[in-house]
Amino acid sequence: MSTSGVTFVNTEEEKKKFLEFQYDHYKADTYFVPPLRMDQKKLLSTEKNPFFNNAEMALFIAEHNGQIAGRISAVVDHRFNEYHGRKTGHFGFFECIDHQPTANLLFRVAEDWLKEKGMEDVLGPASPGMMDMIGFLVDGFEKDPYILMPYSKPYYEKLVTAAGYEQEMDLLAFLVDKDNVALDRVERAKQIVFRRNPGLVIRPVVLKEMDKEVEIIRAIYNDTWKHNWGFLPLTQEELAATAQDFKMILDPDFAHIAEIDGEPVAFSVGIPDLNILFKKMNGNLFPFGIFRLLLGRRKIKRYRTALMGVLPEVQGRGIDALLHQAAIEKGLGKGYTESELSWVLGNNHEMIRTAEKIGARLDKTYRMYSKKLA
């Protein structure tokens, strides 16, 4: 007779089991890219991750027939709830064998913990928050994910829906490759955009003035996305921590700020896709991973546009397309062959149209799920 049980993660040994499960769980998956263990530890650390200044989390491990069979987190993000006027909890870090009773058990303990905290519904996966890795992959399993994008088992959609969750929002990833990019179309529109926007300048991010540039990006981002699904304003502390992590890998050829008469109005941040290197490191930066990282940069031939924002008062003027063009042209000049625009909200029709105008095609779909807590 099969048996299943759940453990509330409390000890360091249990935390290690929680962290390590994903590496064993995906070891036979061709397209899984193991994240760096040091990054995962920091992400889960309530002391080192500034997210937990305004959030609390519980971690759970499931066992089936004496073996670790799954994991899940339950999170209350107080800042998210205060901003949206909701009582929403999040589940995240979900991994599970293809066994519905085990999945149901994981979801139930997470939901029970959230109900004890006064939550009325649950949204996920968010690992741990909405500004981190979110969504289950539901289409596009046959290729490696880009940097800082999730990969998940194809059967997760079955597990989560059978546990009573419904589709909340789709997150889209668009692929731009050198053979299909419509730079000629963008070039024709470029002169019109500049003519209609006197004083428009597209400039690279200045790495030597990173603190100033980060604050510009934060201000534009918060103004741009404030009415969008799932939005939460970026704090100075959170973005500064992210910028510090990105500083060593950020390439100004893929990060631009648009200004009109010297005033910042839009930005785009792309990062080289280090996953081609991470894949060979099995989650370990030391002792040899660091050398792969330092020596393998020239092998990278793709990047991901991870952040973009255009102030509401200048949206619809084509500035976003010019930001994409600036990065794509630099990438082609460096021998890059493709890039990904991700993620784009499934209901963001303006951004989807912009992606299609530059020749991008839908490549992957990620999905967020929600459930009312009885």
Give long-range contacts, CB 8 A cutoff, 24+ apart: 289-297: 289/36, 297/272
Above 60 in pLDDT, residue 54? yes
Structural contact between residues 268 and 304, judged by C-beta atoms closer than 8 angstroms: no
Closest to 240 (Cα-Cα) out of 203, 210, 266, 209: 210
Output the pLDDT for position 304. Answer: 96
Output the pLDDT for position 293. Answer: 67
Give dist(CA 314, CA 197) in Å, integer.
Answer: 9
Fold of 175-367: Aminopeptidase (3.40.630)
Which amino acid, one-letter code, is at 247? K
Structural contact between residues 337 and 176, judged by C-beta atoms closer than 8 angstroms: no
Global confidence as pTM = 0.93
Those residues with Cβ within 8 angstroms of residue 294's Cβ, 6 or more apart along the chain or in another chain: none
CATH class name, domain 4-134: alpha beta
Give dist(CA 320, CA 323) in Å, integer.
Answer: 5
Output the pLDDT for position 226. Answer: 93
The string of pLDDT tens digits covering residues 226-274 is 999 999 998 888 777 777 777 777 889 999 999 999 999 999 999 999 9
- Using the structure block, give the residue that is written with the tokens 């082609």: 332
Above 50 in pLDDT, residue 23? yes
pLDDT tier for residue 27 given thresholds of 50, 70 and 90: very high
Summary mean pLDDT of the chain:
92
The string of pLDDT tens digits covering residues 355-366 is 998 899 999 999
Those residues with Cβ within 8 angstroms of residue 50's Cβ, 6 or more apart along the chain or in another chain: 235, 237, 238, 241
Closest to 310 (Cα-Cα) out of 186, 177, 202, 170: 202
Describe the crossing of helices 349-357 and 183-196 by its angle, rounded to 10 degrees. Answer: 120
Structural contact between residues 264 and 216, judged by C-beta atoms closer than 8 angstroms: yes
Give dist(CA 95, CA 156) in Å, integer.
Answer: 8
The string of pLDDT tens digits covering residues 206-215 is 988 988 999 9
The structure tokens listed for 196 are: 């209609």
User: Beta strand pairing status for 338-345 and 136-139?
Assistant: unpaired
Report the alpha-carbon angle 92-270-357, nearest 5. 100
Output the pLDDT for position 365. Answer: 99
Q: Three-class SS string for 268-331?
A: EEEEECCHHHHCCCCCCCCCCHHHHHHHCHHHCCEEEEEEEEECHHHCCCCHHHHHHHHHHHHH
**DSSP 3-state of 14:** helix
Those residues with Cβ within 8 angstroms of residue 295's Cβ, 6 or more apart along the chain or in another chain: none
The string of pLDDT tens digits covering residues 265-324 is 999 999 999 999 989 888 877 655 565 666 677 889 999 999 999 999 999 999 998 999
Q: Answer left, alpha or beta for residue 31, where phi above 0 means left and psi between -120 and 50 means alpha.
A: alpha
- Distances 109 to 15, 54, 58, 88, 336 between C-alpha atoms, Å: 17, 22, 10, 16, 46
Output the pLDDT for position 1. Answer: 43
CATH 3.40.630.30, the chain: domain bounds: 4-134, 175-367
Structural contact between residues 33 and 279, judged by C-beta atoms closer than 8 angstroms: yes
Mean pLDDT lowest among 59-73, 113-127, 150-164, 239-253: 239-253
